[in-house]
A and B are shown apart, each in its own frame.
Chain A
Amino acid sequence: MGSKRAFDEMHGSGKSIREPYSSYGAWLHSLDISELGRRHKAADVIFRRMGITFNVYGDEGGVERLIPFDVVPRILSASEWRTLERGVIQRVDALNAFLNDVYNDQDILKAGVVPADMVLTNAAFRPQMLGLRVPQDVYAHVSGIDIVRVDEDTFYVLEDNARTPSGVSYMLENRQTMMRLFPELFASNAIAPVEHYPELLLETLRSVAPRGVDDPCVVLLTPGQYNSAFFEHAFLAQQMGIELVEGQDLFVDGGKVYMRTTRGPRPVHVIYRRIDDDFLDPLAFHPDSMLGVPGLLAAYRLGNVTICNAIGGGVADDKAIYAYMPDIIRFYLGQEPILNNVPTWNLRRPDDCAYVLEHLPELVVKEVHGSGGYGMLVGPAATKAEIEAFRERIIAEPARFIAQPTLSLSTCPTYVDQGIAPRHVDLRPFVLSGRETRVVPGGLTRVAMREGSLVVNSSQGGGTKDTWVLDDTPRSAQGGRHARTRR
């Protein structure tokens, strides 16, 4: 499918090199391809040594696997980034306003802008959150907004991740690795830094501490080493200098949360949790779960601890709600969306469903509650049998699915066995919301390593690239802006 005709980040729609790539392109042109291969191998060694692996569910070849890293960066100009940055911040501000509303006044449902039943009967809508005011009215403290590009001027938001988005450790490690492999490029190009992400994350988490707590104790709650993102949990905790804890390390007493330490119990005020809602508190959610902390919901509703991201954020990043995001932005912010949605068919609507069933071979169909590229149909890449099997699933439960046109995702030059070849990419900026909403320049670029493939998820064999945002602020001004960079 149209990989030949897709917009290329480096070459656009033609042969000449686009402006953001001019300096890098000249450098690449002067480089012997075998030298790039040598550095590609060196990157592999670095990642193995750092132990950056990703556990893949359902993979029998052992639980840990290396995510392919590509040495050719994805480059965005300063002005491209300014638009994306404004767009994702707008989007996350609207997501937070939406969550605050649906768990309190429900104005948007009363106004009929979003169908009430789509929210209220959604399994991701958590009655446990009703009537709870959270610090700064922020629910999605860390969001990953997945963006794809189809031409010079058109970016689409593919999906919002407002639960526990992962991947930011790859953004950080990719940058470090690139700086070690290609120091000359960082000397000759003004590339906006990303290394201060852990510092911003910690600032964000501290800014939503319970009222009256001046020096909050922040911890990162992980489900443990068998989770697919455990490496990232350990990495972020270490980078922020906070404790990495499992449920059994915490307990609730008198409606407050404490951490067991060798020097006795220590009060905990902010929990950056990387476990799902269902497992947070066995007394409130899944009763058999040993991952969480019994009594945590009580401490949360008493305002004694802040859970980041908040419980119940899933109702905002639901793929059926996604279709309403432009209206949600207009409703709360009174602004036009800066970033567009991909046109989406909601299969709960009979007309949409009929259209989709007739056009399955051209469309991408996703489960409303799915993630990680599981349970989706990429029509143009699917066999007849796969399409027919999916058709049965849709007919059985149409409301479980949405469909979108197959987008011609932009490609980026990528080092593969045959040399350098275009591969499709997306972009996940990580947006932090606390007292203010911020985003480090760039994000994680994911790349479908298989020729023509549009599935970039790491669980489906996707790789990653370093993402450069070219800095056009004068050099002298940079010292002040990025002085807090943490090494």
Chain B
Amino acid sequence: MRLHIRHETRYRLDHPARRSVQYLRLTPRLDRCQQVLRWTITGPETIAPWTDGFGNRVHVASEGEAHDELLFTVDGEIETMDTCGILPLDDGLPPMMFLRDTPRTRADDAVIALAGEAAGSAEKPPVIAPGDEVPTLHRLMGLVADRVTYRAGHTDVGTTAAEVLQHGFGVCQDHAHLFIACSRALGIPARYVSGYLWSDHTEMASHAWAESWVKGLGWVSFDPANRQSATDAYVRLAVGFDYADACPVTGVRAGGGDEALDVSVTIAPLSGTQSGQQ
């Protein structure tokens, strides 16, 4: 599918900041399931592209003059392919490292119990029957969606998987964190994916989901928020252990006081006729 994406991120500051630096993970990864046709990022004074250790394409943007607004604009076109939710090849990142837990994905007893339920295992730690990895992960995706109702405003970017399970509410990144925590508790490497999702019936555009490494298959995607694996409606921006490694925009600044954040993302399929609408 050919998609046109426009993504604006605007911070309005209470008073001028002296300096600010941001990392922007807003450029699609060089993965086999997608091909960038055109992509531009505009932002503050200086902006330099680099690649982080996960292979994410990052920009470092800095503003050295006093400023009371920061605006980043992404405009691009990308061709995506439906790979049945599977990225078959090792992308150079050793899968085993994604067994590591992080503060956001540490499994407590309840998380481990949820993982055990998916695996149909009462043992501690839970055990998966040989060859049952993929069905287990699909059951896990359903369980995570069942236990955590999609509701904005209940969690923030620091909320842990254990907290999400306890409270029962969250957004896509919380679903992803809980899924990742359970997958790792089952001994299956899992990682966080940040990106875009095109859909003609929801507002969801910036999105997050998870991938688990299944031997013999590769990275298999699971999007508990939508109870499905990734399709060609998904655009992959960044991967990491959790949100912190893959988040689209992270920054620090000197001064500026409180901020108001405005984000707008529009995604539209681009066919011969539709592209003419612009």
B-binding residues in A (CB < 8 A)? 106, 109, 116-117, 120-121, 123, 125-132, 251-255, 282-284, 287, 294-295, 297-299, 301-302
| Nearest B-chain residue to A300, judged by Cβ | B50
A106 CA to B93 CA, complexed, in Å:
11
Take A126-B53, A128-B53, A252-B60 as given contacts and tell me if A302 and B48 are in contact as well, using a CB distance cutoff of 8 Å: yes
A470 CA to B94 CA, complexed, in Å:
49
| Nearest A-chain residue to B99, judged by Cβ | A121
A121 engages B97 (CB within 8 Å): yes
Closest Cβ–Cβ distance, residue A360 to chain B (whole Å):
27
Residues in chain B near residue A123, CB distance under 8 A? 100
Residues in chain A near residue B94, CB distance under 8 A? 106, 109, 116, 120
B21 engages A254 (CB within 8 Å): no
Residues in chain B near residue A116, CB distance under 8 A? 94, 96
Closest Cβ–Cβ distance, residue A336 to chain B (whole Å):
30
B53 engages A302 (CB within 8 Å): no
Category for how many chain B residues contact A: 20 to 34
| Nearest A-chain residue to B94, judged by Cβ | A120
Residue in B19, B60, B244 whose CB lies within 8 Å of A298: B60
Flag B16-35 by CB within 8 Å of A: 1 or 0 each: 00010111000000000000
B50 engages A252 (CB within 8 Å): no
A120 engages B96 (CB within 8 Å): yes
Flag B233-256 by CB within 8 Å of A: 1 or 0 each: 000000011001100001110000
Which DSSP category, helix, strand, loop or mixed, fits chain A's interface?
A: loop
Closest Cβ–Cβ distance, residue A222 to chain B (whole Å):
20
Closest Cβ–Cβ distance, residue B251 to chain A (whole Å):
7
Residues in chain A near residue B22, CB distance under 8 A? 283
A299 CA to B53 CA, complexed, in Å:
13
B14 at the interface (CB under 8 A from A): no
A302 engages B50 (CB within 8 Å): yes
Take A131-B92, A254-B46 as given contacts and tell me if A298 and B58 are in contact as well, using a CB distance cutoff of 8 Å: yes
B212 at the interface (CB under 8 A from A): no
| Nearest B-chain residue to A301, judged by Cβ | B50
Could you list 15 A-B pairs, sorted by A, with CB under 8 Å? A120-B96, A121-B96, A121-B99, A121-B100, A127-B93, A129-B53, A131-B92, A252-B21, A253-B45, A253-B46, A255-B60, A282-B252, A295-B21, A295-B62, A301-B53
A298 engages B48 (CB within 8 Å): yes
Interchain pairs with CB closer than 8 A, number: 87
B62 engages A131 (CB within 8 Å): no
Take A253-B46, A255-B50, A283-B252 as given contacts and tell me if A298 and B100 are in contact as well, using a CB distance cutoff of 8 Å: no
B52 engages A283 (CB within 8 Å): no
Residue in A121, A252, A287 whose CB lies within 8 Å of B62: A252
B46 engages A127 (CB within 8 Å): no
Q: With contacts A129-B53, A131-B55 known, what are 19 further pairs, Cβ within 8 A?
A: A117-B99, A120-B94, A120-B97, A120-B100, A121-B99, A127-B93, A127-B97, A127-B240, A131-B92, A251-B21, A251-B62, A255-B46, A255-B50, A284-B23, A284-B52, A294-B252, A295-B21, A298-B23, A301-B53
A301 engages B51 (CB within 8 Å): yes
Take A116-B94, A117-B99 as given contacts and tell me if A283 and B50 are in contact as well, using a CB distance cutoff of 8 Å: no
B64 at the interface (CB under 8 A from A): yes
A130 engages B54 (CB within 8 Å): yes
A430 CA to B22 CA, complexed, in Å:
38
Closest Cβ–Cβ distance, residue A132 to chain B (whole Å):
7
Closest Cβ–Cβ distance, residue A279 to chain B (whole Å):
13
Residues in chain B near residue A295, CB distance under 8 A? 21, 23, 60, 62
A120 CA to B46 CA, complexed, in Å:
35
B250 engages A283 (CB within 8 Å): yes
Residues in chain A near residue B58, CB distance under 8 A? 298
Take A121-B97, A121-B100, A253-B62 as given contacts and tell me if A301 and B252 are in contact as well, using a CB distance cutoff of 8 Å: no
B52 engages A301 (CB within 8 Å): yes
For the complex of A and B, 5 pairs with smallest distance between CB atoms: A255-B48, A298-B60, A130-B53, A254-B46, A120-B97
A283 engages B97 (CB within 8 Å): no
A255 CA to B23 CA, complexed, in Å:
11
Residues in chain B near residue A284, CB distance under 8 A? 23, 52
| Nearest B-chain residue to A109, judged by Cβ | B94
Residues in chain A near residue B62, CB distance under 8 A? 251-254, 295
B53 engages A127 (CB within 8 Å): yes
A252 CA to B59 CA, complexed, in Å:
13
A2 CA to B77 CA, complexed, in Å:
75
| Nearest B-chain residue to A254, judged by Cβ | B46
| Nearest B-chain residue to A248, judged by Cβ | B254
B96 engages A130 (CB within 8 Å): no
Closest Cβ–Cβ distance, residue B97 to chain A (whole Å):
4
Residues in chain B near residue A287, CB distance under 8 A? 244, 250
A127 engages B54 (CB within 8 Å): yes
A253 engages B52 (CB within 8 Å): no
B21 engages A297 (CB within 8 Å): no
Closest Cβ–Cβ distance, residue B87 to chain A (whole Å):
18
Residues in chain B near residue A120, CB distance under 8 A? 94, 96-97, 99-100
A132 engages B53 (CB within 8 Å): yes
A282 CA to B250 CA, complexed, in Å:
10
Closest Cβ–Cβ distance, residue B187 to chain A (whole Å):
11
Residues in chain A near residue B93, CB distance under 8 A? 127, 130
